[in-house]
Each structure stands twice: as C-alpha cells, then as structure tokens.
Amino acid sequence: MNEHIKPPAAPRTLPRESATFDAYTMSEIRRAAATGIYDIRGAGAKRKVPHFDDLLFLGASMSRYPLEGYRERCGTDVVLGTRFAKKPIHLKIPITIAGMSFGSLSGPAKEALGRGATAMGTSTTTGDGGMTQEERGHSQTLVYQYLPSRYGMNPDDIRKADAIEVVVGQGAKPGGGGMLLGQKISPRVAKMRTLPEGIDQRSACRHPDWTGPDDLEIKIEELREITDWEKPIYVKVGAARPYYDTALSVKAGADVIVVDGMQGGTAATQEVFIENVGIPTLAAVRQAVKALQDLGMHRKVQLIVSGGIRNGADVAKALALGADAVAIGTAALVALGDNDPQWESEYEALGTRAGAYDDWHEGRDPAGITTQDPELMKRLDPVRAGRRLANYLAVMTLEAQTIARACGKSHVHNLEPEDLVALTIEAAAMAQVPLAGTNWVPGQDGRF
Ligand SMILES: Cc1cc2nc3c(=O)[nH]c(=O)nc-3n(C[C@H](O)[C@H](O)[C@H](O)COP(=O)(O)O)c2cc1C
C-alpha cells in the first residue's frame, strides 16, 4: 500500500446539544456547583406553557352579527365588590395594576403606576412594604394588600385604601414566601417595614393569625368592621387548586377573588419555585369560573385573573372565559421602561440583556424601576412613565373592544367561551373550549 495516500476522513456528525441538558441547564449546574446557593430572580415562569396564545376568537360572519367599530358602542367598565361592600369600586377598564411592593419597586415607579392607572380610570395595588405617599397621592383607586409578612402594615393606611386584598399566595410561588435582599433595604424601606437596614428579608408564606378558611372568615369580618363595611375585600391566591381555593374564598366572605397563574411575575423568589410550582393561568381561569358557577356566585363575586397578561387579546380571552377583570404586573413595568433596549450596554455589564433582565432583587436596575438606588431612581421620570403606562392601557382596551365588536358584543363582558376555540388539545382541555375546526372539548364531563 502506498504510504503517501491517506484514507478519507470519516464524516463527522454535527455536535448535538441535549434537549435535557441544554446550555441554560448546564450553566445553572455550573453556577450551583461554584456557589452552593440556589438561584433567586424576579419575573415569572419562562418555560413555555399553554397560554392565551393557544386560543382564537370566532369572529362574527353569517350566524353572528358584528358591531361597527367606529359607530357602535362597546362598554369596558367593571364594578368590583358588589357582594357586601357599601362602596364597590367602579373602574372604566377591566385591566388593573397588580400588587407590587414598595421596596421591590422605587418610589418614582410607584408614582408612575398611580399616574398611568388614574389617567385610564383604573386601580393600582400596594404590596409588601406598605402604602407610599407617592402611590396613594397619585392613585384615584388604591387597593391595599394585607399580607402574611405584615411588613409596612398600618391600620390607618387600611382606612385610606379603597379596597383591601388579603394575599394568600402568588402565582409565581404558591405556598412560598418572598425575598427582599439587603441591598434594597434602604433607610426608607427599613423604616416602613420596621426592620434593620441592609439585611436580607424573607416574607412569610402564610398568615400568622389564621390557618384556614374558617379563620379567614373571621379575619375578613374584622377588616370589614374597621372599614365600616365600606370597602370591598379581595382574596388573592396563587393558582394551584383554583376550584377549591375559589370556593373556599367565597365561603370566607370575599367580594372579589384574584387568581394568579404560574406565569405571574414576582420581584424575587427561588427560580426552582417560579418554574415548577403552580398551574398555568389558562388552566386556572376556567376552574375558578366553574367554582363560582357551581356556587351560583359567578358575576356576584368578581374574578380578577393575572399571570402573563400582555395585550388586548389576552384581556378579551380572560374575560371570555369568565373573568371580570385582569391584573398586570410585568407588562406594566415594561410599559414604564423596564428591560428597555436603550439601557443595553448597562444590561450587558450586568451579564444580561434587554428582554432577559430579571435580577430585580439585586437593586441595580438601569431603568430606575426595581431599585432603591437614589441615582438610578432619578432616571425614571414618573410623569413620562405614567403617560406611557396610560397609552399602553388604552391600546389594550381598544384591542379588547375591537375583538368584542367583531364577535358582536356591545360590552367586553358579553364575550363568552362560545366565542373561542383552541389551537392545541392541551389548551382545549384546560380552557374547556373546542379544538379549532371540531366540536371536541377534551376532558369535558358534561357538567359545563
Ligand atoms: C416587581 C414585582 C413585585 C411584586 N410584589 C408583589 C407583592 O408585594 N404582593 C403580591 O401579592 N404580589 C406581588 N407581585 C405579583 C403581582 O401582584 C402579580 O400577581 C403578577 O405580577 C401578575 O403577573 P404578571 O407579572 O405576568 O402580570 C409582584 C410582581 C412583581 C413583578
């Protein structure tokens, strides 16, 4: 054999990344191995789960009659708290701003949320850490959260609120508590929470003074007494067993129930929680509505749904499935300026990029929103940011109205499951609407 002739190189297959051990997973194993601590971050579940994108509307044609977009009215208002409260809340749009703590958010961010929501006739919500002057001063309608941690809780502020939300849990972490790392415990945050400056704080995962729905009933009655039965009382749960949680909240005397799905944002929690605990918003809505229907309380106790609401189509789909209103957290922060590519070089310096930034717990937010750093905070102009939020809320409302009119509805609340079909079997089963092009509703047991 001629020793100068080399055998042809064997063809090589392309390097193949494992779907199980993908690049993100491997980087997380390396991070855990190097540090010995679990990952904490903000935002909601990032994995893909069945969502409102998997539903489509059946616009009117022959068997249904659409409304004319520019001439025929399509209402968007909603009244919350009609069950027991002497002073229910009237909102012009069915999109509310979810509870986000002062401490996780800066004072200017709280002011901007108040300004934007008020301009559109809707409500904002306090959060862990109490009520700030910025938010009360600029929110026409402010819901006061009554949380397990009691951080910043103050009976005078309860009376200053327009409604009270008893927080049992959040979609990002049902059964878990919150975190506020020391770098965000500024002198003001510490004072409001009566805790030391600069020390990590964990919010409790359950209320210290009641353990179940029977106790909650007593707690709700106490809250009604100190507010002279005027203010609606909401109960917020993270979506895990929404059928039973809704039924038990009704039994405990809630005027309004807030169900927050697993995509729901948080300021800071363990990543393992965010991605692995709770059920998707889509699955939660129909279960909560069914519980209300089974009790004859649908539309008597109002339902607010949150977790991954991004646009008017999401709003319209949540309402069509039976919600009375939605709440937004993450999307409101993005509207204010969070994750804006204008700060790209600073995100890169933090080891991330615009669109992926979720280290809200670290307090180094270049946009001045999830920080207590006085210099970074100055970057957020609350007037301009409030206007941006109002614009965004206006667009969402117009989008929901456009869809409702196309389905022949003169109010967004007249949308119904019958207006929807699903693109996937999973979404059809979760939302209990037919798979597109069929009359098949997987898992239907004939009780709907
Ligand atoms: C920065 C931030 C802070 C939050 N703080 C609270 C809080 O103090 N109390 C609470 O009940 N929920 C809190 N949440 C959760 C929201 O109230 C809401 O359930 C969630 O953001 C809705 O999902 P979305 O972000 O996809 O819209 C927070 C969320 C964010 C993004």
Total structural domains in the chain?
A: 2
Strand partners, 90: 79
Residue nearest atom 9 of ligand 1, based on CA coordinates:
127
Mean pLDDT of the chain: 95
Is the domain of 294 the same as that of 439? Answer: no
Q: Give the model's pLDDT for residue 183.
A: 85
Report whether pLDDT(2) > 70.
Answer: no
> Separation of 119 CA from ligand 1 center, angstroms?
21
> What would the two tokens of residue 273 be?
């929680």
Q: Give the model's pLDDT for residue 3.
A: 62
HEC profile for the chain? CCCCCCCCCCCCCCCCCCCCCCHHHHHHHHHHHHHCCCCEECCCCCCCCCCHHHEEECCCCCCCCCCCCCCCCCECCEEECCCCCCCCEEECCCEEECECCECCECHHHHHHHHHHHHHCCCEEECCCCCCCHHHHHHCCEEEEEECCCCCCCCHHHHHHCCEEEEECCCCCCCCCCCEECHHHCCHHHHHHHCCCCCCCEECCCCCCCCCCHHHHHHHHHHHHHHCCCCCCEEEEEECCCHHHHHHHHHHHCCCEEEEECCCCCCCCEEHHHHHHCCCCHHHHHHHHHHHHHHCCCECCEEEEEECCCCCHHHHHHHHHCCCCEEEECHHHHHHHCCCCHHHHHHHHHCCCCCCCCCCHHHCCCCCCCCCCCHHHHCCCCHHHHHHHHHHHHHHHHHHHHHHHHHCCCCEHHHCCHHHEEECCHHHHHHHCCCECCCCCCCCCCCCC
> Separation of 99 CA from ligand 1 center, angstroms?
5
281 in Cβ contact with 264 (< 8 Å): yes
What percentage of residues in the chain have a pLDDT greater than 70? 98
Task: Return d(Cα 439, Cα 69) in angstroms, integer.
Answer: 30
Expressed as residue numbers, the domain containing 441 is: 416-448
Report whether pLDDT(448) > 50.
Answer: no
Is the domain of 384 the same as that of 448? Answer: no
Residue 264 placed within a domain: yes
Is the domain of 149 the same as that of 263? Answer: yes
Is the domain of 124 the same as that of 231? Answer: yes
Q: Predicted confidence band at 238 (pLDDT cuts at 50, 70, 90)?
A: very high
Q: Give the model's pLDDT for residue 445.
A: 63
Residue nearest atom 11 of ligand 1, based on CA coordinates:
99
The CA radius of gyration of the chain, in Å to the nearest whole number, is 23
Ligand 1: which atom is nearest the Cα of residue 330? 25
Report whether pLDDT(233) > 90.
Answer: yes
Task: Return d(Cα 76, Cα 391) in angstroms, integer.
Answer: 16
Strand partners, 411: 75
Task: Return d(Cα 196, Cα 146) in angstroms, integer.
Answer: 21
> Separation of 330 CA from ligand 1 center, angstroms?
7
Residue 168 placed within a domain: yes
Is the domain of 385 the same as that of 435? Answer: no
Is the domain of 433 the same as that of 297? Answer: no
Report whether pLDDT(1) > 60.
Answer: no
Q: Predicted confidence band at 45 (pLDDT cuts at 50, 70, 90)?
A: very high
Please choose, from the candidates 160, 106, 174, 176, the residue with its C-alpha nearest in 3D space to the C-alpha of residue 134: 106
Residue 373 placed within a domain: no
Is the domain of 120 the same as that of 252? Answer: yes
Single-letter code of the amino acid located at 54: D
Is the domain of 65 the same as that of 118? Answer: yes
Q: Predicted confidence band at 204 (pLDDT cuts at 50, 70, 90)?
A: confident
Residue 343 placed within a domain: no
Report whether pLDDT(287) > 60.
Answer: yes
Residue 92 placed within a domain: yes
232 in Cβ contact with 254 (< 8 Å): no
Return the best residue to mutate from 41, 53, 101, 360 for the ligand 1 pocket (most ligand atoms within 8 A of CB). 101
Report whether pLDDT(334) > 50.
Answer: yes
Q: Average the pLDDT over each of 1-10, 169-178, 229-238, 284-293 and give the range with the smallest value.
A: 1-10
With a 6 A CB cut-off, is 280 part of the ligand 1 pocket?
A: no
Mean pLDDT for 249-260 is 98
Q: Give the model's pLDDT for residue 372.
A: 95
Report whether pLDDT(447) > 80.
Answer: no
Strand partners, 142: 124
Residue with tokens 């012009």: 92
> What would the two tokens of residue 422 be?
């699903």
Q: Average the pLDDT over each of 99-103, 166-170, 421-425, 443-447 and give the range with the smallest value.
A: 443-447
Is the domain of 327 the same as that of 425? Answer: no
With a 6 A CB cut-off, is 264 part of the ligand 1 pocket?
A: yes
Return the best residue to mutate from 100, 144, 274 for the ligand 1 pocket (most ligand atoms within 8 A of CB). 100
Single-letter code of the amino acid located at 339: N
Is the domain of 123 the same as that of 79? Answer: yes
Is the domain of 304 the same as that of 426? Answer: no
Q: Give the model's pLDDT for residue 202.
A: 81
Task: Return d(Cα 271, Cα 38) in angstroms, integer.
Answer: 8
With a 6 A CB cut-off, is 316 part of the ligand 1 pocket?
A: no
Phi, psi of 13 (to 5 degrees): -75, 160
Is the domain of 180 the same as that of 222? Answer: yes
Task: Return d(Cα 89, Cα 145) in angstroms, integer.
Answer: 16
Residue 36 placed within a domain: no
Q: Give the model's pLDDT for residue 179.
A: 77
Q: How do 269-270 and 256-260 pair as beta strands?
A: unpaired
Residue 25 placed within a domain: no
What percentage of residues in the chain have a pLDDT greater than 90? 85
Return the best residue to mutate from 147, 266, 311, 358 for the ligand 1 pocket (most ligand atoms within 8 A of CB). 266
Q: Give the model's pLDDT for residue 208.
A: 87
Residue 40 placed within a domain: no
